[in-house]
């Protein structure tokens, strides 16, 4: 509740949030984004978390665990490019006209182009531990402050976050001894291990990311661990890159444990095309085990300089968009609703069709492998004969497939080209195609597609072709607004 109050205060006081950040999108025809982001993947890369984004010459560059890089002019449409040597938890920074890439258990790489090729910078074999140099640091982040490079990294377990100045001429070398900035604090309950944060003395503090704004250094970090849906992100502030740092009283900055967007942490901050600040983050799925996706949302800043982020899982105005249509999920739990006329072509034991619309990443619909074109048809207005029928103006769909969803530490991603179509109907008999991807050639395991609002009572997804011999749909969500109603078949008699 504290974060929501801060966002409201942010809007009321006309603080650092821009007009586009504050827009609630009640009207307008601007483009939208929806979490998890529909990233193009492989071969050669997978957007599987630990996301690092930076801006250079008006273009945005994204690196993730799993390899490769993504570029965008608007933070909405991302193009994939294979890049060699991308490590686990990559971080790329521009320093004196060159690009330096660091990561877990790897040397420092350098290139004259943000997309490579990258080569090893300086001596690597002779830096045996973190005290003596580079090797051994975990979740590394290089921050440039007034042409001075600093390295921030996490230790192991509860040890916390460290910072050290780097040699300006040899940024693979420490210029001084590391400073221990902060460690695990058991009084910060959200930092603790477990799905209920029930481990009093156990945590995994990681992922430092530093951002400077108005003379204040915001040092983000993640806890309790990427295996938990309680994975969250907090921040400290300071007036110097090496501290001392003060814990923010509105922590955690990012935390969500239910729905499709959970385990929100290990991210980065970048200034968007609208001039506002945007938070990118990892999304931890319940299924498949360790499965991860990418999310982003706006940052609000209040008069005291405190940050807040409202995590979203519905369509939102895209960066640079002042207004956009507001839509709600209209399919959740409507497969098994009382009186529902929903249907499906097949399902496997324990992998039921109803799992495709239960708003959970921990369940999956798997049709029978012999089903040539699996389909699911959802009635949006289950009604008794005494109820009026609610029609909806549907304008977008999100589909989360289970393929390619694991942590993706390798550089190769299996084929994840899904071909499908979405149709709508007002009576369950005559259908109109609103989205035709039966000739799709792009690899994505998450899809978000918009179309012109159309009235319907039924919406049907048909997967016409899928990779491999097993299909899994984590979630199929239709977004829209309530439209007109039709009278009940049996009017309710008046009360006398």
Neighbours of 156 (CB within 10 A): 11
Can you list the pairs that 427-432 forms with residues at least 24 positions away whose Cβ atoms lie under 8 Å?
427/457, 427/458, 428/341, 428/377, 428/379, 428/457, 428/458, 431/458, 431/460
Give the residue carrying structure tokens 């995590």. Answer: 311
The SS3 assignment for 357 reads helix
- pLDDT per residue, tens digit, the chain (496 aa), is 444 444 444 444 333 453 334 344 345 579 999 999 999 987 888 888 999 999 999 999 999 998 999 999 999 999 999 999 999 999 999 999 999 999 988 889 999 999 999 999 987 654 545 554 566 688 999 999 999 999 999 998 999 999 999 999 999 999 999 999 999 999 999 999 999 999 999 999 999 999 999 999 999 999 999 989 999 999 999 999 999 999 999 999 999 999 999 999 999 999 999 999 999 999 999 866 568 999 999 999 999 999 999 999 999 999 998 889 999 999 999 999 888 999 999 999 999 999 999 999 999 999 999 999 999 999 999 988 889 999 999 999 999 998 754 444 443 456 789 999 999 999 999 999 999 999 999 999 999 999 999 999 999 999 999 987 778 999 999 999 999 999 987 776 777 6
- Determine if the peptide bond prior to 478 is cis (ω within 30°): no
**CATH class for the domain made up of 2-317:** mainly beta
As a whole number of angstroms, the distance between CA 283 and CA 228 comes to: 10
Count the residues in the chain.
496
Radius of gyration of the chain (CA): 24
Asked if residue 108 lies in contact with residue 151, where contact means CB atoms within 8 angstroms, the answer is: no
- Give pLDDT, residue 71: 98
Asked if residue 197 lies in contact with residue 187, where contact means CB atoms within 8 angstroms, the answer is: no
Count CA within 13 A, CB hemisphere, residue 192.
Answer: 12
- Give pLDDT, residue 412: 46
Residue 476 DSSP symbol? E
As a whole number of angstroms, the distance between CA 305 and CA 237 comes to: 9
As a whole number of angstroms, the distance between CA 279 and CA 268 comes to: 6
Burial of 119 (0-12, 13-18, 19+ CB in 10 A): exposed
- In the chain, where does the domain assigned CATH 2.60.120.260 lie? 328-486
Asked if residue 265 lies in contact with residue 230, where contact means CB atoms within 8 angstroms, the answer is: no
Give the residue carrying structure tokens 């640091």. Answer: 137
- In the chain, where does the domain assigned CATH 2.115.10.20 lie? 2-317
- Give pLDDT, residue 490: 79
Q: CB under 8 Å to 246, separation ≥6 — which residues? A: 236, 237, 238
**CATH class for the domain made up of 328-486:** mainly beta
- Give pLDDT, residue 48: 86
- Give pLDDT, residue 300: 97
Q: Judging by DSSP bridges, how do beta strands 148-154 and 138-145 pair with one another?
A: antiparallel
As a whole number of angstroms, the distance between CA 318 and CA 7 comes to: 18
Q: What is the pTM of this model?
A: 0.92
Asked if residue 163 lies in contact with residue 150, where contact means CB atoms within 8 angstroms, the answer is: yes
Quick one: CA torsion of 238, 244, 249, 251, rounded to 10 degrees?
A: 80
The distance from CA 496 to its chain's CA centroid, rounded to whole angstroms, is 55
Strand ranges (DSSP E) for 204-291?
206-213, 216-223, 232-238, 246-247, 265-271, 277-284
């Amino acid at each position: 509740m504290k974060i929501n109050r801060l966002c409201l205060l942010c809007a009321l006081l006309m603080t650092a949030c821009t007009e586009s950040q504050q827009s609630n999108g009640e009207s307008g025809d601007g483009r939208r984004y929806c979490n998890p982001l529909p990233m193009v993947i492989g071969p050669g890369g997978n957007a599987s978390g630990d996301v690092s984004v930076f801006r250079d010459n008006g273009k945005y560059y994204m690196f993730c665990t799993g390899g490769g890089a993504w570029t965008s002019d608007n933070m909405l449409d991302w193009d994939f490019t294979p890049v060699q040597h991308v490590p686990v938890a990559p971080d790329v920074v521009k320093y004196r006209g060159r690009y330096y890439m660091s990561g877990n258990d790897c040397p420092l790489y350098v290139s004259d182009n943000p997309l490579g090729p990258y080569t090893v910078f300086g001596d690597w074999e002779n830096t045996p531990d973190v005290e003596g140099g580079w090797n051994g640091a975990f979740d590394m982040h290089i921050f440039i402050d007034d042409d001075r490079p600093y390295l921030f990294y996490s230790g192991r377990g509860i040890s916390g976050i460290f910072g050290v100045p780097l040699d300006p001429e040899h940024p693979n070398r420490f210029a001084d001894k590391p400073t221990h900035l902060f460690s695990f604090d058991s009084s910060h309950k959200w930092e603790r291990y477990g799905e209920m944060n029930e481990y009093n003395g156990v945590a995994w503090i990681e992922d430092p990311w530093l951002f400077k704004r108005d003379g204040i250094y915001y040092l983000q970090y993640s806890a309790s661990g990427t295996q938990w849906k309680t994975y969250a992100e907090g921040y400290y502030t300071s007036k110097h890159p090496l501290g001392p740092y003060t814990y923010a009283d509105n922590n955690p900055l990012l935390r969500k444990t239910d729905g499709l967007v959970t385990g929100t942490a290990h991210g980065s901050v970048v200034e968007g095309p609208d001039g506002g600040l945007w938070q990118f983050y990892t999304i931890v799925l319940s299924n498949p085990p360790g499965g991860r996706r990418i999310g982003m949302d706006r940052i609000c800043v209040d008069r005291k300089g405190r940050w807040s982020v409202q995590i979203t899982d519905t369509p939102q105005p895209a960066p640079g968009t002042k207004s956009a249509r507001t839509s709600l999920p209209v399919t959740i739990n409507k497969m098994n609703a009382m009186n529902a006329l929903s249907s499906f072509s097949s399902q496997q034991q324990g992998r039921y069709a109803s799992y495709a619309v239960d708003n959970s990443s921990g369940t999956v619909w798997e049709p029978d492998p012999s089903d040539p074109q699996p389909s699911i048809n959802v009635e949006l207005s289950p009604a008794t004969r005494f109820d009026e029928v609610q029609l909806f103006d549907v304008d977008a769909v999100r589909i989360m497939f289970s393929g390619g969803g694991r942590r993706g530490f390798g550089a190769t991603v299996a084929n994840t080209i899904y071909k499908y179509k979405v149709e709508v109907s007002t009576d369950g008999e005559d259908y109109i195609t609103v989205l035709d991807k039966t000739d799709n050639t792009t690899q994505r395991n998450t899809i978000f597609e918009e179309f012109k609002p159309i009235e319907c009572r039924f919406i049907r997804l048909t997967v016409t072709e899928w990779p491999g011999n097993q299909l899994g749909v984590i979630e199929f969500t239709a977004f829209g607004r309530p439209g007109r109603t039709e009278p009940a078949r049996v009017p309710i008699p008046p009360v006398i």
